[in-house]
Chains A and B, each alone.
Chain A
């Protein structure tokens, strides 16, 4: 039996990240942002392993951010943990309700329906003057137990919170894939009929996975909102959802750590490409994607796996 090294590697990565964040302050913003999006992509990884491609994770990403945002903006709540929990709950509840409908669909129908639902939220937010319409609104600086997480000279506490959250989510997902319910993911992708003929409900399992992905996207959206300090309806726009699918393919589904690595590289490429050629940065991203599809069809994570093998 192979020894499971993922938990110890993840914990080592956490320590490394915390040290790196300490000595490289200018990377904290990018790192926190990458974890926020990485959480959303982690949910997408769960769906991809189940054989489902959601082009609408922006829905929950945006919903989580707005849940946290309205609580912060209108009730003055700044406690990061509370905001993240509320974001996760709001997104999870929405996913539980919409999942009743979506769990019955597969393939392109699932993808397009999820996209359509996210565009409904986008449309609603654009029309909501009280929530800033297309401009969105700013978030107050988050705190934790009364202590500031972000100040003008340091983003380290928020970065630490993000790292802990990211590693915890990756670990939880890793263990989830070893539970009977988690193991249904590849089984549903391969053969739904056999799953039913073994006594399990495919629809119920897909529903649960959809809710988990929604919660992760909601928490990811709230974390991103706190990092940037601003949220707007673009978070629910289909290009945002498409970006998550892009990153998920770029990362590969080989490991629960891959979404975070992929998100980081994506943000890195985007930041530099934008800096050096503001008008054609998409070209750089497109080229990166093309190269990865041609040379690393299993995603960036195959680089890590190949070295270990």
Chain B
């Protein structure tokens, strides 16, 4: 059992749209995998299936050999498969600090051996009291200056980082990042990815990130999965996959060439 995560023959259809067709992927510990593909190619569907938000029509998903196909997102999260969102999912009325307090508080509460038992003093995996663990996460993502601002008024790039910081509360073994640099100016992209990857690598988690910017993919991914119409078109090292003629035509080409404007 050398795979951390394994998806076997996943199928998912939404009416006439095929979002996943016979998707099989294995993920080794410590890998950094970029998921590429045009909009609607099935990247986010894959993320949603792995995290329990969507149930595949066919196929199974295993985490450390255990079948997790039928689990809810909260159960998958507790096992250590955590995600961030393309559109940050934050508690907008709460400060950045309180967002992390909520996140870490859940981890603390889940660590109780029984509902009536006392919660442990230290947040599991962080080995710090609640408040200190929240401060440490803020610091790790360099969010100190936004500590007391409501999440709803923070700039998009900061919201992205906070969203990812919250995904680390559960000490993930697998971390899925859905477009970590979308909505961020191109100058900021590398800075954000640098910060994210250095913060995340300290966790020793396998990282899967959905990304449209091929420069980001080439720089950070150790392996690339190219999605096209619900299928995996190519799977391998970035230089190989990004040079694949099919990938160039169906995945990258669609973006690199200027789109034809219809005048209908």
Contact = CB atoms under 8 A, between A and B. Distances in A.
B91 A180 contact: no
B170 A198 contact: yes
A197 B83 contact: yes
A195 interface: yes
A194 B77 contact: no
Contacts of B107: 198-199
Could you tell me the dominant secondary structure of chain B's interface residues? helix
5 contacts: A180-B106, A180-B109, A183-B101, A189-B93, A199-B74
Interface string B221-249: 00000000000000000000000000000
A196 B73 contact: yes
B199 interface: no
- Tier of interface size on chain B: 20 to 34
Contact of B102 (A184, A196, A201): A184
Q: Is the interface of A mostly helix, strand, loop or mixed?
A: helix
Q: Which of B73, B101, B107, B130 has the most CB of A within 10 A?
A: B73
A199 B77 contact: yes
A304 interface: no
Pairs of residues from A and B, 10 with the lowest C-beta to C-beta distance, nearest first: A180-B105, A190-B91, A194-B89, A199-B77, A180-B109, A200-B106, A199-B78, A187-B102, A198-B106, A196-B74
A194 B94 contact: no
A194 B90 contact: yes
Given A197-B77, A198-B166, A191 B106 contact: no
Interface of B: 51, 72-74, 77-78, 82-83, 89-94, 98, 101-103, 105-110, 119, 130, 166-167, 169-170
A199 B75 CA distance: 6
A212 to B, nearest CB: 14
Interface in A153-197: 179-181, 183-184, 186-187, 189-191, 193-197
Given A196-B72, A198-B166, A199-B170, A186 B110 contact: no
Nearest to A194: B89
Contacts of A189: 93
Nearest to A208: B115
B73 A183 contact: no
A187 B105 CA distance: 11
A180 B105 CA distance: 5
Given A196-B74, A197-B83, A191 B91 contact: yes
Contacts of B98: 183, 186
A194 B106 CA distance: 11
B78 to A, nearest CB: 5
A160 to B, nearest CB: 32
A179 B101 CA distance: 10
Nearest to B80: A199
A190 B108 contact: no
